[in-house]
């Protein structure tokens, strides 16, 4: 029998031929019932949407069939091989291209930002990309500034492509209008909209094809959907016909993911051409132990996610010594190769089974895929070990504190670490969920962002506020117990300090 969990489809127990026949018959029945339900949903869609919905449901049917067919873990742990010496290149070994080839190189590039996420985890409404992160500028503002600077500096026209979801599309399209007079061509397309299925019946919970009326019945199927949705949008074909060779894909909330000419040069001008896929990885620290890593498996380089790891090997996976790198999700992919792989139906991404419980108590399943998992499908795939500065994601307000601080300065949309910081690493910051997790509340607790240049580690828990001009250095731990409040006074310098209990400075 199929066991569905949040991590993987587990293997069938050994059974006789009668049991096997029953399982196969059940699968066939489940697939047939699903296809009938999907046809009914297509019929309920507005006439103008039927063709698009039908195409998307074909992709979902293929994913569902694989979900039924693929039993057992996606790899055998003991068959993981040691990475070959040339599997991951050191970024510092990459040559910088000469100025005379830069224009030609950039004319063959497309920049893609994954823009499907909402800001709800940080207490914000709408797309995460419109959260203000620095100098009243949003993630999207900074991205557009970066591309505009690139285009103006090198007299090129690198297009910016946003992959939206049905959650972010309408709001993003409104925001994009304000950039129309800038030197950036912006294109948008939507990733697929798939039906959530009941964990018990494996049937869609949607009754009609109307996302606005029943948003809980639908989901965007992870960024692995990029390849087929990009193809279906017509943009892939358009860019290939224009002679563009590569796209650079990254998350919109990774402020370190800027166009890098040394990596682009590796793809276009090196003596070892033929890399259809490059994954930027960086050194794993104890804060990154759950991040996907690179492995060699069946003579191919591929991404290994924690969801694919058998429970008895999770601690091995988290080992910084065994798996030194983790995936930044900054990817460089050859555009004609995407066309080839899709035409050959050779894109087989590991299925991530994401179980959720809706507000009404219904248990549902989302079948998702990850964009980096496609690595194994491309020729000449390689990793590049990049500096940590290329991985600056803002997932929580603790990340927001860092990017708003004086550790970084803003230049043409890019964050640059201050030369005053002694170490190239960023401090480890932990802010308590109860008082700091929402952006509005977080901002209300700081009169202004403290000086963090010499900070190594910061833990703040409880009802804590910060005055103006506070400086935090070394390791600082501030804990206000339940019912207590701590106000750090303006101008305070805390260096290797633990502050706890109840401290209130009152203005007179």
Helix, coil or strand: residue 457: strand
Chain center to CA of 108:
24
Q: What is the pLDDT of residue 75?
A: 79
State both tokens at 321: 């010594």
Mean pLDDT across the stretch 473-496? 93
Farthest CA pair distance, the chain:
84
340-386 pLDDT per residue, tens: 999 999 998 989 888 999 989 999 999 999 999 999 999 999 999 99
Say if residue 506's pLDDT is above 60: no
Percent of the chain with pLDDT over 70: 93
Task: Pick 102 or 74 by higher pLDDT.
Answer: 102
Residues forming a β-bridge with 471: 451, 493
Tokens 């991985």 identify what position? 391
Q: Nearest to residue 355, comparing CAs of 177, 200, 492?
A: 200
Helix, coil or strand: residue 142: helix
Yes or no: say if 133 and 255 are a contact pair by the CB < 8 Å rule: yes
117-149 pLDDT per residue, tens: 988 888 888 899 999 998 899 999 999 999 999
The DSSP H or E segment spanning 334 is strand 325-334
> Residues within the annotated binding site for UTP?
128, 191, 222, 253, 395
**Averaged confidence pLDDT in the chain:** 89
Give the chain's domains with CATH numbers.
77-390 (3.90.550.10), 397-500 (2.160.10.10)
H-type alpha helices, 365-424: 397-404
Euclidean distance between CA atoms 362 and 389, whole angstroms = 42
- DSSP strands (E only) in 352-492: 352-357, 363-368, 382-385, 408-411, 414-417, 428-431, 455-461, 463-466, 471-479, 485-488
Angle between helices 169-176 and 139-154 (to 10 degrees): 50
121 contact partners, CB below 8 Å, separation of at least 6 = 395, 396
446-468 pLDDT per residue, tens: 999 999 999 999 999 999 999 99
- DSSP strands (E only) in 5-93: 88-90
385-443 pLDDT per residue, tens: 999 899 999 999 999 999 999 999 999 899 999 999 988 788 999 999 999 999 999 99
pTM of the model: 0.90
Say if residue 490's pLDDT is above 60: yes
Euclidean distance between CA atoms 46 and 43, whole angstroms = 8
Yes or no: say if 286 and 324 are a contact pair by the CB < 8 Å rule: no
Yes or no: say if 228 and 311 are a contact pair by the CB < 8 Å rule: no
**For 99-103, 109-113, 177-181, 320-324, which range has the lowest pLDDT when averaged over its residues?**
320-324
> Residues within the annotated binding site?
128, 191, 222-223, 253, 395
Task: Pick 93 or 82 by higher pLDDT.
Answer: 93
> Residues within the annotated binding site for substrate?
223
Q: Could you list the active site residues?
A: 395
């Amino acid at each position: 029998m199929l066991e569905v969990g949040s991590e993987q489809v587990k293997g069938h127990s050994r059974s006789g031929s009668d049991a096997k026949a029953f399982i196969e018959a059940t699968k066939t029945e489940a697939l047939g019932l699903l296809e009938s339900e999907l046809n009914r949903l297509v019929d309920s869609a507005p006439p103008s949407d039927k063709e698009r919905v039908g195409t998307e449901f074909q992709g979902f049917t293929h994913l569902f069939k694989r979900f039924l067919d693929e039993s057992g873990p996606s790899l055998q742990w003991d068959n993981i091989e040691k990475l070959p010496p040339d599997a991951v290149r050191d970024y510092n070994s990459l040559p910088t291209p000469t100025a005379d080839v830069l224009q030609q190189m950039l004319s063959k590039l497309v920049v893609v930002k994954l823009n499907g996420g909402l800001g709800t985890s940080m207490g914000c409404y709408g797309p995460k990309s419109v959260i203000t992160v620095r100098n009243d500028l949003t993630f999207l503002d900074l991205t557009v500034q970066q591309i505009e600077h690139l285009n103006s500096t090198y007299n090129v026209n690198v297009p910016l492509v946003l992959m939206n979801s049905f959650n972010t599309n309408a709001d993003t399209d409104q925001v994009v209008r304000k950039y129309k007079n800038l030197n950036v061509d912006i294109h948008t397309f939507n990733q697929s909209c798939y039906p959530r299925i009941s964990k018990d019946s494996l049937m869609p919970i949607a009754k009609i094809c109307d996302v606005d009326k029943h948003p809980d019945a639908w989901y965007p199927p992870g960024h692995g959907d990029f390849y087929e949705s990009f193809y279906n949008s017509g943009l892939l074909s358009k860019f290939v016909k224009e002679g563009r060779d590569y796209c650079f894909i990254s998350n919109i909330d990774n402020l370190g993911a800027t166009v890098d000419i040394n990596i682009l040069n590796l793809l276009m001008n090196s003596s070892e051409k033929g890399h259809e896929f490059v994954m930027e990885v960086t050194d794993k620290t104890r804060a990154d132990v759950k991040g996907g890593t690179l492995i060699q498996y069946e003579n191919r380089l591929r991404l290994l996610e924690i969801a694919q790891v058998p429970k008895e090997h999770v601690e091995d996976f988290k080992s910084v010594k065994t798996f030194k790198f983790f995936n930044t999700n900054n990817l460089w992919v050859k555009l004609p190769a995407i066309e080839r792989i899709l035409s050959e139906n050779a894109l087989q991404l590991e299925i991530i089974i994401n179980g959720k419980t809706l507000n009404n108590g219904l248990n549902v399943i989302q079948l998702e895929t990850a964009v980096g998992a496609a690595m194994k499908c491309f020729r000449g795939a390689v990793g590049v070990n990049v500096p940590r500065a290329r991985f600056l994601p803002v997932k929580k307000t603790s990340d927001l504190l860092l990017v708003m601080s004086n550790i970084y300065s803003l230049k043409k949309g890019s964050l640059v670490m201050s030369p005053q910081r002694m170490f190239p690493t960023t401090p480890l910051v932990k802010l308590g969920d109860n008082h700091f997790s929402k952006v509005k509340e977080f901002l209300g607790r700081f009169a202004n962002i403290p000086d963090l240049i010499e900070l190594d580690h910061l833990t703040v828990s409880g009802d804590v506020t910060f005055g103006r001009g506070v400086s935090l250095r070394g390791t600082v731990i501030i804990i206000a117990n339940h019912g207590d409040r701590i106000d750090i006074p303006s101008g305070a310098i805390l260096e290797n300090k633990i502050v706890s209990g109840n401290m209130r400075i009152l203005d007179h």
